[in-house]
Amino acid sequence: MDLYMFDVDGTLTPPRQEMTLEFWSYFKKWLKGKDVYLVSGSDLNKLNQQLPQECLKEVSGIFTCMGNVLYKDHKKVYENKFEYPRGLKADLNRFLQQSEYKIKCGNHVEERVGMINFSIVGRHADQGQRKKYHRWDIKNEERKSIASYLNEKHEGKIEVTVGGEISMDICNPGKDKAQVLEYLKEKVLKDSEANITFFGDKVHKGGNDYSLARDLIQNNNKQFKCRVYAVNSYEDTLWYLKKRN
């Protein structure tokens, strides 16, 4: 069988924006008859804002919150709980107060099922503010530095990765996107042979697609033929889909 997985922000849509009409006009035809799973760091409410309802109904399953929740046929299949290590809340507050980036827009620590999303500029930032912080972060590597510190201090208790344009995803060990592959192998693929394809924009080390991309490559064998596409935008994804056809 052929199985496809897609990240959402930066892969199927512009970050935190709606899927474009150009992309959807092609993607809705491409989707027909395929086993497709969405694998997002966002929760279902945000995906409802970004993706056409027809898209959410057509896919085989929706993994949200870094794979910590799964929805199939409009029903929740499972969800995990996040366990705070001692001192993490204080660390996040300290980084927020001491950051050299002074614009703060609110909603900096967003608790989701099985994870936390942390943002210095805040998730209430509008598109202009998001772009401004993203450009600043590329130059100053603030998110990368914070993630490195938290991973070292709380080693074995949390895993912190950079996601999207403005935030970091914080999960308990093993409760990141890699868990999606384990679920699919156990519950969907079982003993079947499969061609597995994943599209993501943060598949590099430190990105929130990395663990899933890494495990796919490690599981590339006679039973599972795995391929990972590293994209920089939904335009890249569209180009690859058309090329594969």
Report the catalytic residues.
7, 9
For residue 109, the cross-strand partners are 118
Alpha carbons 53 and 107: distance in angstroms, whole number:
26
Q: How do beta strands 61-64 and 69-72 pair?
A: antiparallel
The beta strands (E) that lie in the chain are given as 2-6, 35-39, 61-64, 69-72, 75-79, 109-112, 115-119, 159-163, 167-171, 194-200, 224-230
Query: Which alpha helices (DSSP H) does 33-111 contain, by range?
Result: 44-50, 53-58, 88-98
